[in-house]
Amino acid sequence: MRRIFLASAMLCLGVIGAGQLLGQPAYALDAEMLNVMRMHPSPNGAPASAPYSAIPREIVDYNGPYPAGTVVVVSSERRLYLVLPGHKAMKYGVGVGRPGFGWSGTVHISAKKKWPGWTPPASMLRRRPHLPHFVKGGPNNPLGARAMYLSGTEYRIHGSNEPETIGHAMSSGCIRMTNADIKDFYNRVKVGATVHVLR
């Protein structure tokens, strides 16, 4: 497991991963990322090679203050809630920012894209200059099947080709979902929706 594909591993400003990007060179995983993988080898403490069981999405009761259509990310829970009509919410498992990269605030979904390409932000390229400067959209792109761009930030809510990272704090700020969940979420949420990211 010494050669791990960087774009997946670094996605969203530095997410850990073990996927492989077609047509791109492989990169060695750096020591910082290996340490995080040792701390969080896979969900439920299982070995990294064990089959991953996705966190099921579910409709739950909601009696909070936000109207239908609002997105609420509770980072400490590793969960995202999309408020639905009738005091309900769709609850999804997510991956969030690793220590030092967590954040909170209120933003809006400024754009939605299917199979988006990935351009690492300048801040990430300064930290890791060996990263590719662009990765074409597709099934092996680290942004996954869909991405929702968050206003005023470099962050996104996006899919992932590494579902074993969902439920953990491994990214550099982006909110990750399985590709199945991001497709469901994409069809439900609108451009302009308010997103509250809570610690």
Which pLDDT value is given to residue 52? Answer: 60
Q: Is residue 173 included in any domain, yes or no?
A: yes
Q: Is residue 76 included in any domain, yes or no?
A: yes
Of 4, 10, 12, 26, nearest in space to 159 by CA: 12
- Find out whether 1 and 48 touch, Cβ atoms under 8 Å: yes
What confidence category does residue 39 fall into, taking pLDDT thresholds of 50, 70 and 90?
very low
Which pLDDT value is given to residue 110? Answer: 98
Distance, in Å, from the CA atom of 90 to the CA atom of 88, rounded to the nearest integer, reads 7
Distance, in Å, from the CA atom of 183 to the CA atom of 144, rounded to the nearest integer, reads 10
Distances (CA, A) of 117 to 51, 87, 135, 138, 142: 28, 36, 6, 8, 9
HSE at residue 181, side-chain half, CA atoms within 13 A, is 29
Q: What is the pLDDT of residues 98-141, one digit of tens each?
A: 999 999 999 999 999 999 998 888 888 898 888 888 889 998 78
Give the bridge partners for 81, in sequence order. 72, 91
- Find out whether 76 and 199 touch, Cβ atoms under 8 Å: yes
Q: What is the pLDDT of residues 26-36, one digit of tens each?
A: 222 232 332 33
168-72-163 Cα angle (round to 5): 30
Q: Is residue 67 included in any domain, yes or no?
A: yes
Q: What is the pLDDT of residues 51-71, one digit of tens each?
A: 566 799 999 999 999 999 999
What is the domain extent for residue 145?
A: 3-41+55-198
CATH number at residue 101: 2.40.440.10
Q: Is residue 47 included in any domain, yes or no?
A: no
- Find out whether 108 and 193 touch, Cβ atoms under 8 Å: yes
Number of domains comprising the chain: 1
Q: For tokens 């990211």, what's the residue?
A: 197
**Catalytic residue positions?**
158, 174
Q: Is residue 50 included in any domain, yes or no?
A: no
Q: Is residue 48 included in any domain, yes or no?
A: no
Q: Is residue 117 included in any domain, yes or no?
A: yes
Distance, in Å, from the CA atom of 11 to the CA atom of 73, rounded to the nearest integer, reads 19
Which pLDDT value is given to residue 96? Answer: 97
Distance, in Å, from the CA atom of 41 to the CA atom of 48, rounded to the nearest integer, reads 5
Higher pLDDT, 193 or 134: 193
Which pLDDT value is given to residue 194? Answer: 98
139-153: b (≥16 Cβ within 10 Å) or e: ebbbbbbbbbbbeeb
pLDDT exceeds 80 at position 173: yes
179-69-53 Cα angle (round to 5): 30
